[in-house]
Amino acid sequence: MVLEVRVFGGLEKLIPGASFGKPMEVRADQGTTVAGLLKMLQIPEDQVFSILVNGVHYDKGNLLSDGDRVAFFPPIGGG
């Protein structure tokens, strides 16, 4: 299946060729979870705070489907 993946907040530095907020086409096997996608992309799970799939918050155990748009955000500090 084909996924559209976007990474934000410095996570793009973990993926060669990735750019902040720019869509990347990623091919994954049917039955891939969000956690499986993170592993494929070599993004440590503890570096991801928020996950959106098609604009809806997802957990790391949720299954992905062909054509899903996935966005990963790190924890953001501030005050």
Place of tokens 């750019």: 19
d(CA 12, CA 63): 23
d(CA 73, CA 51): 6
Query: Residues 34-75: pLDDT tens digits?
Result: 999 999 999 999 999 999 999 999 999 999 999 999 999 999
**Coil, helix or strand for 54?**
coil
* Burial letters 37-56, b for 16+ CB under 10 A, else e: bbeebebeeebbeebebeee
- Domains, the chain, ordered by start: 2-73 (3.10.20.30)
Query: Residues 33-45: pLDDT tens digits?
Result: 999 999 999 999 9
Q: What is the pTM of this model?
A: 0.92
